């Protein structure tokens, strides 16, 4: 039986940005299993294009990427009035004070530590969207 919360989530688009295909695929699959519509990008540059075309409600963004890293991508999104209101959740293998400070400086909603357990990922997305997990 499908609940009204699940039906509502199906219309919520989440962008997953990671240069590692397996990580990207796992996050997309988990979000889709939770009822979200997941779209993917493999780089910061691609993410900026996908955001314009897809208009996601939330973005999961890897920090360490080869072309445009997550910090610069997040800063570019925050600097654009059309995308500044989209919550960005940075994803990193480390969450030390330096990472947290830089994330705050570029306007990220939070930082999630890799590997992100699916329940934590779902709760973080729901919180960023201001809805119950």
- In this prediction the pTM is 0.90
C-beta neighbour count of 132 within 10 angstroms:
8
Q: Which residue has the tokens 């992100």?
A: 116
Superfamily name and number for 4-128? Response regulator (3.40.50.2300)
Q: Is the pLDDT of residue 7 over 50?
A: no
39-68, pLDDT tens digit by residue?
999 999 999 999 999 999 999 999 999 889
Q: Is the pLDDT of residue 11 over 90?
A: no
Q: Is the pLDDT of residue 4 over 70?
A: no
The DSSP secondary-structure symbol of 80 reads: S
84-129, pLDDT tens digit by residue?
999 999 999 988 999 999 999 999 999 999 999 999 999 999 999 9
Higher-pLDDT residue of 63 and 1 is 63
């Amino acid at each position: 039986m499908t609940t009204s919360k699940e039906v509502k989530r199906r219309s919520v688009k989440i962008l997953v940005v990671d240069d590692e295909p397996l990580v990207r695929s796992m996050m997309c699959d988990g979000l889709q299993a939770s009822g979200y519509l997941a779209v993917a990008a493999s780089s910061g540059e691609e993410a900026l294009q996908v955001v314009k075309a897809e208009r996601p409600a939330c973005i999961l963004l890897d920090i360490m990427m080869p072309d445009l890293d997550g910090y610069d991508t997040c800063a570019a999104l925050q600097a654009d009035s059309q995308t500044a209101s989209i919550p960005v959740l940075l994803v990193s293998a480390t969450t030390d004070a330096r990472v947290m400070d830089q994330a705050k400086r570029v306007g990220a909603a939070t930082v999630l530590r890799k590997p992100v357990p699916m329940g934590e990922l779902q709760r973080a997305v729901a919180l960023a969207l201001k809805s119950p997990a």
